[in-house]
Structure 1
Amino acid sequence: MDSLTQIVLGAAVGEAALGKKIGNKALLYGAIGGTIPDLDVFLGLFTDTVTAIELHRGISHSIFFCIILAPLLGWLVHKIERKKNLGWQPWTKLFFLSLITHPLLDAFTTWGTQLLWPFNIKIAFNSIFVIDPLYTLPFLFCCIAVLFCSRGSKLRMRFNRFGLIISTIYLLSTLILKLLAYKKIEKELDNQGIKYSSISTRPAPFNTILWNANIDTKENYLITDYSFFDTKPLKFKKFPKNREKSSRLMKYLNVQRLIAISNDWYIIEKKGGNWYFNDLRFGLIPREDGTSFFAFSYHLIEKEGKIQVIEVPKTKREAQFLMQQLWHRVIGN
């Protein structure tokens, strides 16, 4: 999830752990703990593109990391806040809760987390977009309200508890919405006589009414959108896999690593004499000229018996156009 959401979640669990004893400092230290796992993005500044992708939401988003770091932070803050005379254990509890809830929330997104690192298992429920106002804004309001309540007051506890409960209920409801969208798309494929091997669904940006789907068929990937307000049959856009044409590139280690990262949802295509690796999990972004492009695409440069991978820069987008397109699709086809 986005940084603001993780700060709010960390602050709320920090308040739940020590708010009665230390007041607003529990929010502060909880917010710090909730931010720490995402500092792994800075590692990408010192390594290559593929390694940076592999490191993101890796060890820093694991149970192992939380277990190791929580007591270290607990001991450090105990020394800093020695006047509180709490001992290191309560601080350790606060940091463990704020650290572990970060990857647990991220597990509901498309990118997922390596919660069980060092085991190479990525957990991704694909049920919430990385920025979802319906999750964050009510939670943020409750967190701000806590700041203005006296320490230990019932109102303070109720605001914080309400924020945690309503955000959790919304998060769990996204799993139900995902199932409903999956069943609708599955039924639509059967109605149109389309044979497929698997379906991957995820919410469109900023909402859980519109869902994007990738469908794996023998020769092609199909991509579609489904809104709960749709009344017409769904249209499926076809993207040839072209595995034979790109098979030569698949012998390279960097390409194999990208395939693993994409969970096999990928297309390697040649455009203008250059090869590109497209990660299908994050969908298409429309252009005003009626075309579209993949949100995550990587330029593959063959050089000295190796493949260099460079992420394709995100082109300048017209925010107003994208939001209009999103809204028109949310309200139904």
Structure 2
Amino acid sequence: MDSLTQIVLGAAVGEAVLGKKVGNKAILYGAIAGTIPDLDVLANLFTDTITAIEIHRGFTHSIFFSVLFAPIFGWLVSKIEKKSGVGWKGWSWLFFWALITHPILDGFTTWGTQFFWPFEYRVAFKNIFVIDPLYTIPFLVFLVLTMFQKRTSLKRQKFNRLGLIVSSSYLAITLVIKGIAYQKFVNALEDQNIHFLQVQTKPAPLNAILWTANVETNDAFLIGDYSLFDSQPIQFHAFAKNHHLLGDWIHKPNIKRLIKIAENGWFTITEKEGELYFNDLRFGLLNNDPFNPEFTFSYRLFEKNGIIYAEETEKNRDDAQKLIADLWERVKGN
């Protein structure tokens, strides 16, 4: 999830663990702990694109990281907050829960997490977008209300508990909606006599009303969308896999790494002006134009000294603004 959401979650968890004893300091340190796992993005500054993708939501988003570092952070804060009356164990407990709830929440997103690192298994339920105002805003409101209550106030506990309950309930509802959307897509494929190998569903950006599906067929991927307000049949648009365009590159180590990142095959290859682009399908399209598609995550491939490198294509503000405008219209139904 986005940084603000993880800060709110960490703060609420910190309050639940130590709020009665240290008040808003529990919120502060919980918020700090909630941001720590995402510091893995700093890998972008020191390594290549493919390695940075592999690192993101890896080690720092694992059970192992939470167990290993919670006592260390807890010990540090216990030295800083000697007058708090809370010892090393109490602060360690706060950091453990604030650290581990971060990857648990991220596990519900499309990107997912390597929660069981070092085992190579990514947890990704794909039922909530990385930024979802309906999850974050009510949660934030309850957290702010909590902060303005006295440390021992029953209202303080009530507001914080409500924030956790409402946000968790919304998360559960999106799982139900995902199941409904999945069945709608499968029914549409069967009604249109489309033979498919597998289907993946995920929410469109910023909401849980509009859903998209990636559908694998023998030689292409189909992409379709469905809004809970739709009244017309679902339409699917085909995008050729074009994996053959990679030629001998498909055996190169870095290409194999990219294929693995794209969940072992959910990608297409496109050619523009003599250059090849690797399109990760997990995050769909930036636009709704099937004839001139722009994929959210697309990487230009190039060879240097016998090694294949990947460079992510740049996005601009106009892309985001157009996407939001198109989404708003599509959410209202077809």
With normalisation by structure 2, the TM-score equals: 0.97
Counterpart contact for 1:110–1:129, Cα < 8 Å = yes
- 1:106 positional shift: 0.2
Q: Which residue does the alignment assign to 2:134?
A: 134
Q: Which residue does the alignment assign to 1:238?
A: 238
- 1:307 positional shift: 0.4
Counterpart contact for 1:246–1:269, Cα < 8 Å = no
- 1:302 positional shift: 1.6
Q: Which residue does the alignment assign to 1:205?
A: 205
Do the aligned partners of residues 320 and 240 (structure 1) sit closer, same or farther apart at CA in structure 2, a change above 3 Å counting?
Answer: closer
- 1:323 positional shift: 2.4
- 1:290 positional shift: 7.7
Q: Which residue does the alignment assign to 2:185?
A: 185
Q: Which residue does the alignment assign to 2:297?
A: 296
- 1:244 positional shift: 2.5
Question: In the aligned structure 2, how far is the partner of 1:169 from the partner of 1:159?
Answer: 15
Q: Which residue does the alignment assign to 2:287?
A: 286
Q: Which residue does the alignment assign to 2:272?
A: 271
Whichever residue aligns with residue 41 of structure 1, its letter is V
Question: In the aligned structure 1, how far is the partner of 2:61 from the partner of 2:235?
Answer: 37
Q: Which residue does the alignment assign to 2:62?
A: 62
Do the aligned partners of residues 50 and 38 (structure 1) sit closer, same or farther apart at CA in structure 2, a change above 3 Å counting?
Answer: same
Q: Percent identity?
A: 55
Q: Counterparts in 2 of 1:35-46, with a 5 A limit? A: 35-46=35-46
Q: Which residue does the alignment assign to 2:310?
A: 309
How many residue pairs get aligned? The number is: 333
Q: Counterparts in 2 of 1:70-219, with a 5 A limit? A: 70-219=70-219
Q: Secondary structure of the residue that 1:205 maps to in structure 2?
A: coil
Question: In the aligned structure 2, how far is the partner of 1:27 from the partner of 1:308?
Answer: 43
Question: In the aligned structure 2, how far is the partner of 1:54 from the partner of 1:318?
Answer: 26
The Cα offsets for residues 52-97 of structure 1, whole Å up to 9 and x where unpaired, read as: 0000000000000000000001111111111123210010110000
Q: Which residue does the alignment assign to 1:330?
A: 331
Question: In the aligned structure 2, how far is the partner of 1:8 from the partner of 1:310?
Answer: 33
Question: In the aligned structure 1, how far is the partner of 2:98 from the partner of 2:171?
Answer: 17
Question: In the aligned structure 1, how far is the partner of 2:230 from the partner of 2:69?
Answer: 47
Whichever residue aligns with residue 308 of structure 1, its letter is Y
Q: Which segment is superposed worse, 310-319 or 7-16? A: 310-319
Do the aligned partners of residues 290 and 305 (structure 1) sit closer, same or farther apart at CA in structure 2, a change above 3 Å counting?
Answer: closer
Whichever residue aligns with residue 203 of structure 1, its letter is P
Whichever residue aligns with residue 295 of structure 1, its letter is T
Do the aligned partners of residues 52 and 141 (structure 1) sit closer, same or farther apart at CA in structure 2, a change above 3 Å counting?
Answer: same
- 1:234 positional shift: 1.2
Question: In the aligned structure 2, how far is the partner of 1:236 from the partner of 1:287?
Answer: 11
Question: In the aligned structure 1, how far is the partner of 2:319 from the partner of 2:311?
Answer: 24
Q: Secondary structure of the residue that 1:99 maps to in structure 2?
A: helix
The Cα offsets for residues 244-268 of structure 1, whole Å up to 9 and x where unpaired, read as: 2323221111111000000020012
Q: Which segment is superposed worse, 240-249 or 141-150? A: 240-249
Question: In the aligned structure 2, how far is the partner of 1:120 from the partner of 1:189?
Answer: 32
With normalisation by structure 1, the TM-score equals: 0.97
Counterpart contact for 1:288–1:321, Cα < 8 Å = no
Q: Secondary structure of the residue that 1:36 maps to in structure 2?
A: helix
- 1:320 positional shift: 4.4
Question: In the aligned structure 1, how far is the partner of 2:170 from the partner of 2:81?
Answer: 36
- 1:269 positional shift: 2.0
Q: Does 1:13 align with 2:17?
A: no
Do the aligned partners of residues 238 and 314 (structure 1) sit closer, same or farther apart at CA in structure 2, a change above 3 Å counting?
Answer: same
Question: In the aligned structure 1, how far is the partner of 2:4 from the partner of 2:73?
Answer: 21
Q: Secondary structure of the residue that 2:286 maps to in structure 1?
A: strand
The Cα offsets for residues 101-135 of structure 1, whole Å up to 9 and x where unpaired, read as: 00000000000000000000000000000100000
Q: Secondary structure of the residue that 2:246 maps to in structure 1?
A: helix
The Cα offsets for residues 202-241 of structure 1, whole Å up to 9 and x where unpaired, read as: 0001110100110000111000101111111111111111
Q: Which residue does the alignment assign to 1:22?
A: 22
- 1:319 positional shift: 4.7
Q: Secondary structure of the residue that 2:214 maps to in structure 1?
A: strand
Question: In the aligned structure 1, how far is the partner of 2:247 from the partner of 2:236?
Answer: 26
- 1:327 positional shift: 1.2
